[in-house]
A = this chain, B = another copy of it.
């Protein structure tokens, strides 16, 4: 049996990545119902909103699901308390130091996976006691590593650095890509972009339709002085590129970014003023499908 499937008690070693404004209970439960592992992305939720999503997800599926938590979340204590209250048994952590929460999570019986972008941090995550690592390459959407290592180069490096169950992420949207990263040493995959562009994703319809028309080169890794983010072309990306070209400082970029832009772009569908983020692989996706159909297609990788 596949190590990732047995770790999480799922049919296919396919995890739907937690994504701001895309992955609420509706997407997560659909993925879990289809045999993968759905993750509620807590990054765009106030703590009580997260509680509501967890409860709705439980009502919508009797299969395992999890929650993704950025360890830099401002009210992380409150959030972790809710995960315990609601008995969430699978937690994917990202950013921050996995030492701070892994033991507490495991002591109450949860399985923990940590997202990394280098073999160095994969080894640190193993030291912290996590059950699995997600290694995410440069092509992934949203926040990204400073090393800019692509999935093709990253997976073999992380495979060498740790014996833990390994999920590949970044650039994976098809059964063939799943097969390819498993040849490189992954035990399973975490997929974001493909699931962000499904019927069940809570991203705005404008955003989803816009993403279906993307070509190669329409996303760029920018905002490196703040922390690299893969942005999608639009008015805001143009403003960021212009500012960076003239040498804008971190403070200037922070001011340009302001607040609430991701919600405006992804959730409210404002393609002009909003911050838009998606993975490079969006250029290969040209149809909005329901999750069940996507999972049926992806599951061909395991036949």
- Give A contacts to B, CB under 8 Å: 118-120, 137-139, 145-154, 156-157, 160, 170-172, 174, 176-177, 179-181, 183-185, 215-217, 220-221, 225, 245-248, 280-281, 283-284
Contacts and interface: CB of A to CB of B under 8 A. Distances in A.
A177 B151 contact: no
23 contacts: A118-B216, A137-B152, A138-B139, A139-B149, A139-B150, A146-B217, A147-B216, A148-B220, A148-B221, A149-B216, A149-B280, A150-B152, A150-B280, A151-B152, A152-B177, A152-B180, A153-B216, A154-B216, A156-B174, A156-B176, A156-B284, A157-B284, A179-B183
A176 B184 contact: yes
A77 to B, nearest CB: 32
Given A150-B280, A156-B176, 14 more contacts: A137-B152, A138-B138, A139-B152, A147-B216, A148-B220, A149-B216, A152-B181, A153-B281, A156-B174, A157-B283, A157-B284, A180-B180, A180-B184, A247-B247
Given A152-B139, A157-B283, A217 B147 contact: yes
